[in-house]
């Protein structure tokens, strides 16, 4: 039985679909279900050469799979982030560790 609620929508113009996982952040079971779902949903994309992206930001859920999807490009992202934001003031703890 699913504890979380899911909302899906699509953008037909560019082929994107969006998924929102609605959880209560203080519910450990819901957090775990959302984490498992988020990991599973990227697998078919990767098998077909695609990826999940964060259109409006990567967020914490995507961070775990970023290296798997993009490989060494994540190192380039981190070096660019350090160059632009050496004090790590912008979105600390997100996207790439700097």
Q: What is the pLDDT of residue 56?
A: 57
**Alpha-carbon span 10 to 17, nearest angstrom:** 4
Q: Which pairing describes strands 16-22 and 5-11: parallel, antiparallel, or unpaired?
A: antiparallel
Q: Which residue has the higher pLDDT, 25 or 56?
A: 25
Q: What is the pLDDT of residue 9?
A: 75
Q: Is the model's pTM score more than 0.85?
A: no
Tell me the per-residue pLDDT of 37-89, one tens digit each, with 9 for 90 and over.
Answer: 877 777 777 777 776 666 555 566 667 677 777 788 888 988 998 899 999 89
Q: In the structure, what pLDDT confidence band is assigned to residue 24 with cuts at 50, 70 and 90? A: confident
**Alpha-carbon span 22 to 86, nearest angstrom:** 34
């Amino acid at each position: 039985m699913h504890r979380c609620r899911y909302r899906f929508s699509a953008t037909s113009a560019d082929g994107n679909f969006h998924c929102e996982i609605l959880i209560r952040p203080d519910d450990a079971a819901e957090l775990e279900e959302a984490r498992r779902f988020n990991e599973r949903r990227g697998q078919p994309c990767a098998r077909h050469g695609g990826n999940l992206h964060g259109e409006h930001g990567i967020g914490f859920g995507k961070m775990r799979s970023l290296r798997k999807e993009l490989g060494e490009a994540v190192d380039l992202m981190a070096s660019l982030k350090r160059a632009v934001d050496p004090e790590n003031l912008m979105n600390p703890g997100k996207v790439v560790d700097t």
